[in-house]
């Protein structure tokens, strides 16, 4: 890539971990999607000397664009504009049109909030001070952004100053990209593409071995920037490449699919959540959860439009709830234990009956840290998958990690098992399309 950028996230509350940085990753992804190489993301507190040090560092690294976030408010510790102006050697001047625009925004806020203060006028003027020779960006909140052109003679790159609240930053991003300073800075970027392949229960060592073997089998594979990430039992294989390297990527995707057909579930970037939502179209689903305590239901309903297929869930933690609400026979629990495939099957069937759905998924297990045994160690989870007209499926998996990890991995496993069962029904197959467990 021949256009590089750096990001400076400002704010002592971010530096100390009081607030999690959401801006740095969002800006980085947005730039990468544009074909810009993000060289660095730095975080500094609300101290002019520290911000200046970050700007000097990025300029010395030869980046074409610096994006700063935060520090644009009306208070005394909001010093980003003044600090960047000093770094770029551009005096501040009052933008009267911008001042009037901010004053109008504040006036509307006053009418709705009922709050008034003499300090507001000073805050408005402070936010309307703009470095000379720069372009102001209309605010989404009250803080405007600023685009500063590069100055090659001074070895300073273009700088895009944006506010800290994520909603404001994201709302102003298109206008920031459209400024002359940023357009010029990004003019040399090439056309790059990003593709994601997703696999489930594929070990990273096995994937690494396949990628190593691909180096000797695929022409121009060195033109592909491949990164892998293990997340929630799934492996994401993200490849960035210039448009001219499309044949090399196509060969890589075919090579990976050939070697890991049983584990790869997505070659188009779709998530298991996407695929399960599609598989549930025209159906109704319920959950019966013990060890996951409602996490499956929560993840199902995280998605807009889930009310079309999700009817409800039962967190059947106690055995009494399993028997009295889901109709699991007490004898079944006594004979096989609450953590058993027999109980998982009865829970899934009970959820279908009680909540009147054609599909249900259940979990019962030992998330830990205690409660395990030699036969059923901590991390053991039993699943039930009930689909109308089909025998109810059961699976048992022992997951690694602590309580939170076991519950998260079990939730992901439930999504894969349910998607597999529904896809098998759709394809009218006698045996599973692929084994995910």
Domains of the chain: which residue ranges? 4-186, 192-270, 273-429
Helix (H, G, I), strand (E, B) or coil at 182: helix
Could you give the C-alpha distances from 382 to 174, 199, 209, 282, 355, in angstroms and in order? 48, 22, 32, 27, 21
- Cβ contacts of 201 within 8 Å, gap of 6 or more: 233, 263, 436, 437
Q: Which of 105-109, 235-239, 273-277 has the lowest mean pLDDT?
A: 105-109
What local confidence, expressed as pLDDT, does residue 114 receive? 58
Query: Half-sphere exposure of residue 169, counting CA atoms within 13 Å on the CB side?
Result: 24
Nearest 5 degrees, angle CA 378-CA 380-CA 385? 155
pLDDT band at 430 (very low <50, low <70, confident <90, very high): very low
Residue 118's CB is within 10 A of a number of other CB atoms, namely 6
What local confidence, expressed as pLDDT, does residue 432 receive? 45
pLDDT band at 386 (very low <50, low <70, confident <90, very high): very high
What local confidence, expressed as pLDDT, does residue 349 receive? 98
- pLDDT greater than 70 at residue 139: yes
Question: What is the DSSP code string of 186-235?
Answer: TTT---EEEEEEEEES--HHHHHHHHHHHHTTSTTGGG-EEEEEEETTEE
Per-residue pLDDT tens for 151-191?
999 999 999 999 999 999 999 999 999 999 999 999 988 88
- The Cα–Cα gap between 366 and 380 comes to 6
Give the pLDDT mean for 237-248: 94
Q: Which of 4-13, 113-122, 325-334, 421-430 has the lowest mean pLDDT?
A: 113-122
Q: CA Rg, the chain, in Å?
A: 28
CATH number of 273-429: 3.30.540.10, 3.90.950.20, 1.10.510.10, 3.30.565.10?
3.90.950.20
Percent pLDDT > 90 in the chain is 83
CATH number of the structural domain 4-186:
3.40.980.10
Give the pLDDT mean for 405-424: 97
Per-residue pLDDT tens for 63-97?
999 999 999 888 777 899 999 999 999 999 999 99
Class of domain 192-270 as given by CATH: alpha beta
Percent pLDDT > 70 in the chain is 95
- pLDDT greater than 50 at residue 378: yes
Q: Are 416 and 408 in contact (CB under 8 A)?
A: no
Give the pLDDT mean for 328-356: 98
What local confidence, expressed as pLDDT, does residue 188 receive? 83
What local confidence, expressed as pLDDT, does residue 433 receive? 47
Q: What is the largest CA-CA distance in the chain?
A: 83
Give the pLDDT mean for 50-67: 97
Question: What is the DSSP code string of 99-114?
Answer: HHHHHHHHHHHHHHH-
Measured in whole angstroms, how far is the alpha carbon of residue 35 from the centre of its chain? 19
- pLDDT greater than 60 at residue 429: no
- The Cα–Cα gap between 96 and 248 comes to 54
What local confidence, expressed as pLDDT, does residue 94 receive? 93
Helix (H, G, I), strand (E, B) or coil at 172: helix
What local confidence, expressed as pLDDT, does residue 117 receive? 61
Q: Is 239 left (phi over 0), alpha (psi -120 to 50) or beta?
A: beta
- The Cα–Cα gap between 25 and 436 comes to 31
- pLDDT greater than 90 at residue 420: yes
Q: Where are the beta strands (DSSP E) in 78-163?
A: 92-94, 129-131, 135-137, 145-148, 158-162
**pTM of the full structure:** 0.80
- pLDDT greater than 60 at residue 105: yes
What local confidence, expressed as pLDDT, does residue 118 receive? 64
Measured in whole angstroms, how far is the alpha carbon of residue 221 from the centre of its chain? 28
Q: Are 396 and 427 in contact (CB under 8 A)?
A: no
Both tokens assigned to 261: 């057909």
- For the chain, give the mean pLDDT: 93
């Amino acid at each position: 890539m021949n256009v590089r950028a750096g990001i400076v996230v400002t704010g002592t509350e971010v530096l100390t971990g009081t607030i999690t940085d959401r801006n740095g990753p969002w800006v980085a992804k947005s730039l990468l999607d544009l074909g810009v190489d993000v060289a660095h993301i730095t975080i500094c507190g609300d101290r002019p000397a520290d911000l200046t040090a970050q700007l000097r560092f990025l300029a010395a690294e030869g980046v074409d664009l610096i994006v700063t976030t935060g520090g644009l408010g009306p208070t005394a510790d909001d010093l980003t504009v003044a600090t960047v102006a000093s770094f770029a050697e551009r005096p501040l001047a009052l933008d009267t049109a911008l001042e009037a625009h901010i004053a109008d925004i504040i006036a509307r806020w006053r009418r709705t909030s009922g709050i008034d203060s003499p300090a507001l006028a000073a805050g408005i003027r402070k936010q309307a001070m703009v470095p000379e020779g720069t372009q102001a960006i209309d605010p989404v909140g009250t803080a405007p952004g600023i685009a500063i052109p590069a100055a090659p003679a001074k070895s300073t790159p273009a700088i895009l100053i944006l506010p800290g609240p994520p909603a404001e930053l994201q709302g102003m991003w298109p206008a920031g990209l459209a400024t002359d300073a940023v357009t010029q800075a990004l003019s040399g970027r090439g056309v790059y593409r990003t593709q994601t392949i997703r696999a489930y229960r594929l070990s990273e060592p096995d994937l690494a071995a396949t990628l190593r073997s691909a180096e000797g089998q695929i022409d121009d594979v060195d033109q592909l920037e491949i990164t892998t990430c293990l997340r929630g039992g799934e492996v994401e294989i993200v490849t960035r490449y210039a448009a001219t390297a499309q044949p090399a990527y196509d060969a890589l995707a075919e090579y990976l699919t050939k070697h890991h057909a049983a584990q790869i579930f997505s070659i188009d970037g779709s998530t298991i959540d996407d695929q399960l939502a599609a598989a549930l179209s025209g159906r109704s689903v319920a959950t019966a959860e013990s060890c996951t305590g409602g996490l499956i239901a929560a993840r199902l309903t995280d998605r807009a439009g889930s009310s079309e297929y999700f009817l409800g869930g039962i967190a059947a933690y106690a055995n009494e709830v399993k028997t009295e609400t889901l109709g699991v026979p007490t004898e079944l629990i006594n004979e096989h234990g609450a953590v058993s495939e027999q109980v998982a099957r009865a829970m899934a069937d009970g959820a279908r009956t009680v909540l009147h759905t054609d599909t249900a998924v259940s979990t019962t297990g030992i998330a830990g840290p205690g409660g395990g045994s030699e036969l059923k160690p901590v991390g053991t989870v039993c699943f039930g998958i009930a689909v109308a007209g089909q025998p109810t499926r059961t699976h048992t998996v022992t997951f690694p990690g602590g309580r939170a990890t076991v519950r998260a991995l079990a939730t992901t496993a439930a999504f894969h098992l349910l998607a597999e069962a529904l896809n098998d029904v759709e394809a009218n197959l006698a045996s599973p399309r692929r084994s995910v467990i």
